[in-house]
Amino acid sequence: MSLTHPTLLPILSAALLLLSGGTARAQASEAAVKAAFLPKFVRYIELPANVQPATGQPYYLCVIGRDPYGALVDRAASSETIDGRNVAVRRFATANVPAVAGCHVAFVAGENDAQSAQMLSTLRRQSTLTITDARQGAARGMIHFVMAAGRVRFHIDDAAAASRGILISSRLLALAIDVKQRTP
């Protein structure tokens, strides 16, 4: 994939903003980069057949708990289409099992690490790609955002994804700071 690939342009633009300004601007831009990544992750995963969206249904990106990205996620998701399906954003205060059952991807940010860990534990009962952010706490999902050398980066727990039947593309794995490998 080249750096001019259309799916990378919004992320690269936001990253340039991140590197160009002061602290408040950098934080806003950091949020924009992370928000842009969230719906793009759907493009680089393969979910088990039994949890794929039905024909004509969107992929659901759920924001569970605190929402540090707000409208930025909505804008990023509105321009994303995967295999003819849109990405729709849903928001939940907690990881209530019946409510979050249809989430394909979930960004999790509790009020504290214990609450985030509880939400992640609830989501482990289903095949949902979980995403967390070091700025929101230490609890880790399958993908965990961090800042490294002034750039938004992420760790990937491919073993946890594999345990839920989720296949993460080698292209996404190659972008990670580190990968906890799946066992054969």
Please, what is the average pLDDT of the chain? 87
The predicted model gives 76-101 an average pLDDT of 91
Q: Which distant-in-sequence residues (6+ apart) come within 8 Å of 31 by Cβ?
A: 68, 69, 72
131 part of a folded domain:
yes
Closest CA to 162 of 127, 131, 122: 127
CATH at residue 122: 3.40.50.2300
- Residue at 135 is within a domain: yes
Q: How many CB atoms lie within 10 A of CB 28?
A: 14
Is residue 152 in a domain?
Answer: yes
Q: In angstroms, rounded to a whole number, what is the distance separating the alpha carbons of residues 41 and 50?
A: 19
| Number of compact structural domains in the chain | 1
Residue numbers of the domain that contains 90: 9-180
Interatomic CA distance for residues 33 and 55, integer angstroms: 30
CB atoms within 10 A of CB 60: 20
Q: What is the pLDDT of residue 164?
A: 96
Q: Is residue 3 part of a domain?
A: no
Please check whether residue 1 lies inside any domain of the structure.
Answer: no
> 63 in a domain, yes or no?
yes
Structure tokens at 162: 């594999």
Q: With the C-alpha atoms ordered 167, 140, 21, 36, is the resulting torsion angle positive or negative?
A: positive
Q: Give strand pairing partners of 65.
A: 109
2 Cβ contact partners less than 8 Å away, ≥ 6 residues apart: none
Distance (Å, rounded) from C-alpha 33 to C-alpha 12? 8
Structure token digits, residue 161 = 């994804």
**Bridge partners, residue 152, by sequence:** 147
Confidence of residue 110 (pLDDT cuts 50, 70, 90): very high
pLDDT in tens, 61-88: 999 999 999 999 999 999 999 989 999 9
* Amino acid sitting at position 66: R
Question: Is residue 2, in this structure, part of any structural domain at all?
Answer: no
- Of 53, 77, 58, nearest in space to 67 by CA: 77
Number of alpha helices (DSSP H) and beta strands (DSSP E) in the chain: 7, 10
pLDDT given for residue 142 in this prediction:
98
Q: pLDDT value at position 19?
A: 42
103 is a domain residue: yes
pLDDT tens-digit readout, 112-168 = 999 999 999 999 989 999 999 999 999 999 999 999 999 999 999 999 999 999 999
Q: Stretch 88-109: mean pLDDT, rounded? A: 90
